[in-house]
Amino acid sequence: MDALRAAVPYAAYGFVSLVGLTARLKVEGEEHLQEAKKGGAFIYAFWHQRQVFFTWTHRDVGATVLVSRSKDGELIARTMELSRIASARGSSSRGGVAATKELLDLLASGKTVGITPDGPKGPARQVKPGVLALARLSGAPILPLSCATSRRVVFEKSWDKFHVPLPFSRAAVVHAPLLRVGAGDSDETAARELKARLDAATERADALVS
């Protein structure tokens, strides 16, 4: 069983590579990405449901993504490592303070980080306060983005109806306008706005591959 688990990241890496190599990709909202890059450090935010395809589209971009300390999180982190994406390990229940400090240090040094605002356990498409606190403390803007593929497996019984893309898909990545969270801004208002931008990007990505 240990040997099987050890092989999973390699299999996942190979499968996602096949998906990416055979995808017909469209990208929208690149002006928002360029705006984020001009300012230095920024925070990618994307729904947990859509994270798999980003391990192809965001290889070698120099981002560090928050990943839980669960057993499943370990498999995700190893797959990301093969994809040349770094991970910071932690969540609200385990290692959250240390992971937040690591992400803040990365942002302070001009690095990019990534977070699933509804992960690792949901509720689906509900923004938790962690990403807002990170943006407020660091001063870095949040870049909401989403993706979609025309061919995919949907795990209907998972909490977020998790998507696994399939090869030979039409694919899309959509960036939404940047969101900044100031010291005096309401968490409720910022969470509502981030959710709206993420949902709009997701709907647009779905439309592009339909």
**Which is more confident, 175 or 75?**
175
Q: Which domains does the chain have, with CATH numbers?
A: 2-209 (3.40.1130.10)
Asked if residue 176 lies in contact with residue 201, where contact means CB atoms within 8 angstroms, the answer is: yes
Give the confidence band of 100 by pLDDT, cuts at 50, 70, 90: confident
d(CA 4, CA 9): 10
Q: Is the dihedral of CA 206, 55, 45, 29 positive or negative?
A: negative
First to last CA, the chain: 39
Give the confidence band of 57 by pLDDT, cuts at 50, 70, 90: very high
| pLDDT at position 71 | 80
Q: Is the dihedral of CA 112, 16, 169, 122 positive or negative?
A: negative
Asked if residue 106 lies in contact with residue 64, where contact means CB atoms within 8 angstroms, the answer is: yes
Lowest mean pLDDT among 92-96, 101-105, 119-123, 161-165: 92-96
Highest mean pLDDT among 2-6, 22-26, 120-124: 22-26
Whether residue 179 has pLDDT greater than 90: yes
d(CA 39, CA 36): 5
Task: Return the closest-CA partner of residue 43 out of 178, 205, 153, 162.
Answer: 178
d(CA 113, CA 86): 9
Give the confidence band of 94 by pLDDT, cuts at 50, 70, 90: low
Q: Which residues contact 50 (CB under 8 A, 6 or more apart)?
A: 146, 147, 148, 163, 202, 205
d(CA 170, CA 57): 14
Q: Average pLDDT over the chain, rounded to whole?
A: 93
d(CA 150, CA 163): 11
| pLDDT at position 91 | 63
**pLDDT digit string, tens, across residues 103-153:** 999 999 999 999 999 988 899 999 999 999 999 999 999 999 999 999 999
Q: Which residues contact 117 (CB under 8 A, 6 or more apart)?
A: 45, 47, 126, 127, 128, 130, 131, 194, 195, 198
Percent of the chain with pLDDT over 70: 97
| pLDDT at position 95 | 54
Asked if residue 33 lies in contact with residue 143, where contact means CB atoms within 8 angstroms, the answer is: yes
Highest mean pLDDT among 66-70, 90-94, 99-103, 166-170: 166-170
Whether residue 21 has pLDDT greater than 60: yes
Give the confidence band of 182 by pLDDT, cuts at 50, 70, 90: very high
| pLDDT at position 47 | 98
What is the reported pTM? 0.93
